[in-house]
Structure 1
Amino acid sequence: MINLDNLKKILIAVEDSVYSDQAVNYGLSLARKLQAEVALVHVNEIPAATPYIADPMMNETSFIVPEMMNIQEDASNALFDRIKKQAGDEVIIYTYIRLGTPKTEILSTAEECNADLIILGTHGRTGFDHFISGSVAESVARRSKCPVLIIPNKD
């Protein structure tokens, strides 16, 4: 059983979606009630290498466009700004932008920031869609060292 008095830092995995908004709302509400700090993590998946006209004879390969990385970082910061405004001055918020696979980066960020609880939303996929895409929430819940609260999709 989790002791709510021990929840001092809540990690909320965010993205620009209604599922994430529901998790943020829940997480901020819980943080206010428990006077806990919040860490937000936004994971940008590594973009596929962008091909350009490369000369294999010159040992040239495709590359990741730095501009794409800057656009992703700007989007992450805009998302964080929106959430910070929503939280107001009541909640101390830390932000983390990660590049990689969401389940791996959420777990490593939780360890790095010493999270006592991870909150994330779920798309609620079932059947074939779930089989193909898997579930970040499920994977995080199975591998996390701290409790995980999954906020289901409420259409």
Structure 2
Amino acid sequence: MYEHLLVPVDGSELSNKAVAHSIGLAKMLGASITGFTGEPPLPVLVVEQAAVAYDVATFQEHEKRCEAHAREILEAFAAKAKEAGVHFDGQFMITENVQQGIVDTARKQGCDLIVMATHGRHGLDALIHGSLAKSVLAHSQVPLLILHG
């Protein structure tokens, strides 16, 4: 039924739940997994109505930190998938819009199911913090399996 799962992860305890469930599901279905992690770019600093520019070294250092963090997360996921005999590929991007990165990666990689964990926020908490899973659900043509945290 499903052959290629996309699993967005950030290294949190909640995303580790998606890792465990997706590996079990992929093993049962004979599917492969693409792990995805997205990191935000450096924020634009505004001081008294003037944008503060970063130097090239600052951008490069930020990218190195993001890549190292993503590599750590995706390598841990890959090790667990390998141990279970599940084919794994990792994808990383720096993006202002992680939701769109997830949707685009699912499409580009030919994934037929997205597996995500969510906090299940409601009311004011959802309004303040938003819901990445809800946003992905609203914008993706790929089915979504949501695991409640």
CA distance in 2 between partners of 1:107 and 1:38 (Å): 15
2:73 corresponds to which residue? 79
Runs of 4+ deviating beyond 3 Å: none
Deviation of 1:47 (Å): 2.0
CA distance in 2 between partners of 1:47 and 1:129 (Å): 25
Pick from 42, 45, 54 the counterpart of residue 47 of structure 1: 42
Answering whether residue 20 of structure 2 is matched by residue 25 of structure 1, we say yes
1:92 corresponds to which residue? 87
Equivalent position amino acid for 2:20 in 1? N
CA distance in 2 between partners of 1:37 and 1:85 (Å): 14
User: Is the alpha carbon distance of 1:43 and 1:50 closer, same or farther for their aligned partners in structure 2, counting shifts above 3 Å?
Assistant: same
Same amino acid, percent of matched pairs: 26
Deviation of 1:130 (Å): 0.3
CA distance in 1 between partners of 2:128 and 2:52 (Å): 30
Equivalent position amino acid for 2:28 in 1? K
Q: Secondary structure at the match of 1:65?
A: helix
Q: Secondary structure at the match of 2:28?
A: helix
Q: Secondary structure at the match of 2:142?
A: coil
TM-score w.r.t. structure 1 length?
A: 0.84
Deviation of 1:50 (Å): 6.3
Structure 2: any 5+ residue segments left out of the alignment? Answer: none
Higher strand share: 2
Deviation of 1:99 (Å): 1.4
- Compute the RMSD of aligned alpha carbons: 1.8
Pick from 107, 110, 114 the counterpart of residue 111 of structure 1: 107
Larger radius of gyration: 1
2:74 touches 2:90 (CA, 8 Å); kept in 1?
Answer: yes
1:119 touches 1:150 (CA, 8 Å); kept in 2?
Answer: yes
Answering whether residue 6 of structure 2 is matched by residue 15 of structure 1, we say no
User: Which digits, 9 at most, give the CA deviation of each residue in 1:10-38, with x for residues without a partner?
Assistant: 00000011110001111010000001010
Structure 1: any 5+ residue segments left out of the alignment? Answer: none
TM-score w.r.t. structure 2 length?
A: 0.88
Pick from 133, 137, 155 the counterpart of residue 133 of structure 2: 137
